[in-house]
Structure 1
Amino acid sequence: MNLRQLEAFRAVMISGTVSRAAELMGITQPAVSRGIAELEAQVGFALFDRIKGRLVPTPEGQLFFRDVDASFVGLDRLRASAARIRDFGSGSLKVASLAALGSTLVPRAIRFFREQHPSITVTLTVMSSSAVRNHVADGQYDLGLAADEVDLSGVDHQLFGSFPGVCAIPGGHPLAARSMITPPDLDGHDYIALSPEDRVRLRLHQICEQAGVKPRLVAETPNSATVCALALEGVGIGIVNPLAADGFQERGLVLRPFKPEVPFRSHLLFRPDVQKGRIVRAFVAALLKARNTRRSLSADQS
């Protein structure tokens, strides 16, 4: 049996007559009748009884139609999937992100992306930078955002951005009155640090040593957003990625520039086994738009 024969059988079952089936398929009535006769010969049983010039489905034909119709539903899904792949590269997108961007910038990018591509489903998972790298390298995610300390071997990558760290300060803290924070300002204050392997923490440690400054370490966490939450509760002060601090100022957290600059760098990671499809390129464009929008807002507020 072939697809054309099955199409003829399904068209007659749906329309009720050979003439209507021929119209649906855009072929002649004899061609429809011939296709059904050939199909009956191959399946080994009658699909229709011929009664007064009409085709009436047999019980066997009705049973067979259930499976035929289900297979055509699958074909319709394949056609829709092919259309999405033709237009966008895929019908879905899986994104992995480090926490600093996964709760602020990436959701904004998803909004921008869906304004242009509302039929594409986006899956966003927030995880550590090392996990982002591993999942993208394994092909489980289409693209990822990771901090610059991650191992970039085995993945395609490009620099996404470099964002000067800011000092997160509890409201009412003595340093909150300053317009800028420098290393000597940290001396003796309760300090919330990032993870020991974090490059920003290592860089800040070098700066403080050179300045002869010793902040009092009271807590450490891998996420800038958690540093902001701890600072908001008055636990201490910390240097954070400004993108992770979105929304905290409205809750009372004070953010001040820190000099010398301690940059938070992040990279875009791509699967090494496939070329970047149009859907991935479109999402990268949305990420860049979200990044540039955030920078414009920062410039307006400064």
Structure 2
Amino acid sequence: MNDFIYSKMKCRHNVCVWLERDCMRPRASIREYEVLRAVITSGTVTAAAHRLAISQPAVSRLLAQLEANVGVMLFERRGGRLRPTAEAMRLNSKLDRLFDALSYLDSTDPSDPTSQPLRIAAPPTLGHRFLANLIASFMKQNRGQVISFETCTSNGLLSRLVDDTIDLGVTLAEQTHSAMELIPFYQTHAVCVMAHDHPLARHDVITPELLHGQNHIALMRRHMVRTRLDQVFARAGVRPNLVAEVATGVSAITLARAGIGVTVICPFPLLRQNEPDLAIRPFHPEFMYRASFAVSTIRPLTKSTRAFMRHVKLAVRQIPNTNPILTQDVDNRPWL
């Protein structure tokens, strides 16, 4: 019985020693992997040395180091040539991603903004109705600049900034988070939208009192602006008749156009000056919306990100009847 216990303890001790030695084993270098691939491809040390522009002894030494580091024999000498073992071929097959990454880095100029994709995200309404055209014009002005553009929720912008999967977000939400900074570039007031023949269309301004009992199309409760609008109604002591909850302003306008009810929304970037089948009226008390750039507070803005933000600012100033906000860049200088 005691011999059995001793045997198990000895086995455990041996395993511990093996693990300790394995952890202390030096890791192979990228240069050693380069030599492995060069010898497999060329078949001789001489050809590999010429390909890598190093001496033959250096190739032999690096191969020996690699075999020592991985703990297996990688080549057999047959007829004056080195023949890779099965272990060498398996190891080489796993190196494709490494050398693809190195090749990409070698071809990348960190000082050239077009060498890295500009990653942008925005909610669908802003993305499709506003940003897509600006991305197209920006790419025409900056030939070679690669753009990665996706749509997501405003909450999704935050997670993408934290995970470093985007460089820039554009949003109408007013979220706060230590990892995200909002830089407003445009502001506008809420409007009340309804079919052109709706009874309320005769009013020049729509107030909460006029909406009491009226069929109302609202954004989903997850939207912060929905909470703010509900508070406006509560303070006025009115209760519109909620007939639909929608996820986007596009859907709200579509239902209003069909005569389902009225909706109080942000007109940017959905509404044009000429909407003959809609009645668009100011909503009082004033209800402000701000369009903002969402940027990381952890990582500095790239050159291409700053350039695109300036492009958006300039474009907004060209839109009739807009209210752009003068902001400053990260160096505390005017944008344009």
Normalising by the smaller structure, the TM-score range is 0.5 to 0.7
**Shift in CA distance, 194/32, structure 1 to aligned 2, threshold 3 Å:** closer
1:75 aligns to 2:99 (yes or no)? yes
Give the structure 2 partner of residue 168 of structure 1.
193
1:265 aligns to 2:278 (yes or no)? no
| CA-based RMSD | 4.6
1:65 aligns to 2:93 (yes or no)? no
Aligned pair partner of 2:267 in 242, 251, 254? 242
**Shift in CA distance, 101/119, structure 1 to aligned 2, threshold 3 Å:** closer
Are the counterparts in 2 of residues 169 and 236 from structure 1 also a CA contact under 8 Å?
Answer: yes
Output aligned runs, 1:287-302, within 5 Å: 287-288=312-313, 291-292=316-317, 295-296=319-320
Are the counterparts in 2 of residues 10 and 65 from structure 1 also a CA contact under 8 Å?
Answer: no
| Greater mean deviation of Cα atoms: 189-198 or 71-80 | 189-198
1:55 aligns to 2:81 (yes or no)? yes
Are the counterparts in 2 of residues 147 and 267 from structure 1 also a CA contact under 8 Å?
Answer: yes
**Shift in CA distance, 235/7, structure 1 to aligned 2, threshold 3 Å:** same
Instruction: Point out where structure 1 has 5 or more consecutive residues left out of the alignment.
Output: none
Give the structure 2 partner of residue 157 of structure 1.
182
Give the structure 2 partner of residue 11 of structure 1.
38
Give the structure 2 partner of residue 45 of structure 1.
73
Q: CA deviation at 1:64?
A: 0.7
Give the structure 1 partner of residue 229 of structure 2.
201
Are the counterparts in 1 of residues 196 and 279 from structure 2 also a CA contact under 8 Å?
Answer: no
Secondary structure, counterpart of 2:159 in structure 1: helix
Secondary structure, counterpart of 1:234 in structure 2: coil
Are the counterparts in 1 of residues 181 and 296 from structure 2 also a CA contact under 8 Å?
Answer: yes
Give the structure 1 partner of residue 119 of structure 2.
93
**Shift in CA distance, 255/275, structure 1 to aligned 2, threshold 3 Å:** farther
* Residues in 2 aligned to 1:277 and 1:224: alpha-carbon distance in whole angstroms: 32
**Percent identity between the two aligned chains:** 22
Secondary structure, counterpart of 1:243 in structure 2: coil
Give the structure 2 partner of residue 226 of structure 1.
251
Q: CA deviation at 1:263?
A: 3.6
Q: Report the TM-score when normalising by structure 1.
A: 0.67
The letter of the residue matching 1:10 is: R
Are the counterparts in 1 of residues 162 and 179 from structure 2 also a CA contact under 8 Å?
Answer: no
1:27 aligns to 2:34 (yes or no)? no
Secondary structure, counterpart of 2:294 in structure 1: strand
Give the structure 2 partner of residue 124 of structure 1.
151
Q: CA deviation at 1:235?
A: 1.0
Q: Which has the higher contact order (CA 8 A, sep 6+)?
A: 1
Q: CA deviation at 1:200?
A: 6.9
Are the counterparts in 2 of residues 22 and 28 from structure 1 also a CA contact under 8 Å?
Answer: yes
Residue correspondences, number: 283
**Shift in CA distance, 230/13, structure 1 to aligned 2, threshold 3 Å:** same
* Residues in 2 aligned to 1:25 and 1:246: alpha-carbon distance in whole angstroms: 62
**Shift in CA distance, 256/2, structure 1 to aligned 2, threshold 3 Å:** closer
* Residues in 2 aligned to 1:280 and 1:2: alpha-carbon distance in whole angstroms: 35
Are the counterparts in 1 of residues 190 and 266 from structure 2 also a CA contact under 8 Å?
Answer: yes
* 1:85-143 CA-partner distances (Å, limit 9, x unpaired): 9355965736353x542442233344456654654533331x2x5x3575367547644
Q: Report the TM-score when normalising by structure 2.
A: 0.61
The letter of the residue matching 1:284 is: M
Are the counterparts in 2 of residues 155 and 271 from structure 1 also a CA contact under 8 Å?
Answer: yes
**Shift in CA distance, 275/10, structure 1 to aligned 2, threshold 3 Å:** same
Q: CA deviation at 1:47?
A: 0.9
Give the structure 2 partner of residue 108 of structure 1.
133
Give the structure 2 partner of residue 183 of structure 1.
206
Give the structure 1 partner of residue 328 of structure 2.
none
Are the counterparts in 2 of residues 5 and 35 from structure 1 also a CA contact under 8 Å?
Answer: yes
The letter of the residue matching 1:281 is: R
